[in-house]
Amino acid sequence: MKKTLVVLLVSAMLAYFSLPLMASEKGTQSEVVEKCKQAAALIKDKGLDGALPQLSDKSGPFVWKDTYVFVVGLDKKTILAHPVKPKLVGRKLIGIKNVNGKMFFAEFISVAQNKGEGWVDYMWPKPGEKKPSPKKTYVLKVPGMPVAVLAGIYK
């Protein structure tokens, strides 16, 4: 019994102290592009309704290191899935500006509708923070659907 308790305690301590290390890992541009392609493939395979629960899962495969995939509906210009800030789901953010006055959400929509894919630079708070940091987000329109998947990295 004591041995089991010691093993559990040591395991819990290792997990606790490794969390800051995992959270400090930074996603890369290539990871962001690959995760967006995987998310688009999931939507194409399962349909939007079938894919949204997995894309909304904070513990799922579309949340990694310091980044995550989120989904935007291009027709209504709303957030359809956001695993880190679920209260954004359903919100129409087309007019939102960052601290520098950039209408980055409108640029997401424009890139998806006009180019199909691309990068947008803007300022946004890191998860758990309030102060905005420079961020670069990849936008990928899901072919044949009025939906885009996005993921970003902080600079």
Give the range of the structural domain holding residue 123, as residue numbers without chain letter: 26-154
Write the pLDDT tens digit of every residue in 98-124: 999 999 999 999 999 999 999 999 998
* Residue at 139 is within a domain: yes
* Residue at 5 is within a domain: no
Q: Look over the chain and give the mean of its residue pLDDT values, rounded to a whole number.
A: 87
The total of structural domains in the chain comes to 1
Burial 97-134 (b: 16+ CB within 10 A, else e): ebeeeebbbbbbbebbeeeebbebebebeeeeeeeeee
Q: What is the CATH number of the domain that holds 47?
A: 3.30.450.20
Alpha-carbon distances of 20 from 16, 123, 139, 148, 149, rounded to whole Å: 8, 23, 28, 31, 27
* Residue at 21 is within a domain: no
Q: With 60 as the cut, is the pLDDT of residue 16 above it? A: no
**Model confidence at 126, in pLDDT bands (50, 70, 90)?**
confident
* Residue at 6 is within a domain: no
* Residue at 10 is within a domain: no
* Residue at 18 is within a domain: no
Write the pLDDT tens digit of every residue in 56-107: 999 999 999 989 999 999 999 999 999 999 999 999 999 999 999 999 999 9
* Residue at 131 is within a domain: yes
